[in-house]
Amino acid sequence: MTAGEPERCPWVGIADPQYARYHDEEWGVPKSDERALFEKLVLEGFQSGLSWLTILRKRENFRAAFHAFDPQRIARYGAKDVARLMADAGIVRNRLKIEATIDNARALLKLNEHMSLAAFLWDQVDGRPQINAHRSFKGVPAQTATSKAISKALKERGFRFVGPTTIYAFMQATGMVNDHLVSCHRHAACAKLQRRFSVPRARPPA
């Protein structure tokens, strides 16, 4: 942190202004937009084994390569699309993760026959964002009982690369849990948004 800048969570460091913007504008803000949630779920899966900054720097390339994370388009991907993505140096070229993204789009469409992804996810926490009061990141877990339960529920519905650690990172990023340190200028702001958040309702079966 430099003079004049607000206090942030220590993981931001001084690595990249893009990282600071992500922390200040996105991380911990509760989300209900279907495509934004799907994108985040996919990108958290791609992040496994890598740094989030690596994914963040490639995010626009991912959006272009995966047709803005339109699940209808991705669900129709075939061998030619997999080959195209494997040749795209702008993204993370991991065949298992690419194929999992296609499977996840198909799983999402199947889920949507009964409810939205947003309603499904928020129902797992009874629609109540968890607001923590950590003073050090030493106390922030890598996974929780809730992230394990959500991971299991998603896998049962055909989603892949959604392990408990990946899901907890997803929960932190999408405001299902507030893990900004209390000293961070975004803790109170995100907590306010969480308290006002309108929980999405389940989409009734067609």
- For residues 72-90, give the mean pLDDT: 98
The CA dihedral of 165, 162, 19, 39, to the nearest 10 degrees, is -160
- Comparing 15-24, 94-103, 110-119, which segment has the lowest mean pLDDT? 15-24
171, 147 contact by CB (below 8 A): yes
Q: Which residues is 177 bridged to in the sheet?
A: 130
Q: Is 44 a catalytic residue?
A: yes
97, 60 contact by CB (below 8 A): no
pLDDT of residue 184: 97
Domain assignment of residue 189, yes or no: yes
Q: Six-digit token pair at 6?
A: 């607000």
Domain assignment of residue 204, yes or no: no
Domain assignment of residue 206, yes or no: no
Domain assignment of residue 155, yes or no: yes
CATH label of the domain that carries residue 171 = 1.10.340.30
**Domain count along the chain:** 1
* Options 11, 26, 52, 99, the catalytic residue: 52
Q: Is 168 a catalytic residue?
A: no
Domain assignment of residue 59, yes or no: yes
pLDDT tens-digit series, residues 122-160: 999 988 999 999 999 998 999 999 999 999 999 999 999
Domain assignment of residue 8, yes or no: no
Domain assignment of residue 139, yes or no: yes
Q: Is 52 a catalytic residue?
A: yes
E-strand ranges in the chain read: 130-131, 177-178
Give the C-alpha distances (Å, rounded to integers) separating 73 from 63, 68, 151. 12, 9, 24
Backbone φ/ψ region at 28: left (φ over 0), alpha (ψ -120 to 50), beta: left
* Options 11, 22, 26, 99, the catalytic residue: 22
125 vs 206, higher pLDDT = 125
pLDDT of residue 127: 87
pTM of the model: 0.94
pLDDT of residue 56: 95
pLDDT of residue 13: 78
pLDDT of residue 15: 61
Cα–Cα distance, 131 to 197 (Å, whole number): 13
| Structural domain of 132 | 17-196
| pLDDT mean across residues, the chain | 93
131, 194 contact by CB (below 8 A): yes
- Intra-chain end-to-end CA distance of the chain, in Å: 51
Domain assignment of residue 167, yes or no: yes
* Options 27, 34, 44, 122, the catalytic residue: 44
pLDDT tens-digit series, residues 153-204: 999 999 999 999 999 999 999 999 999 999 999 999 999 999 999 887 765 4
Q: Six-digit token pair at 128?
A: 């109540």
88, 65 contact by CB (below 8 A): yes
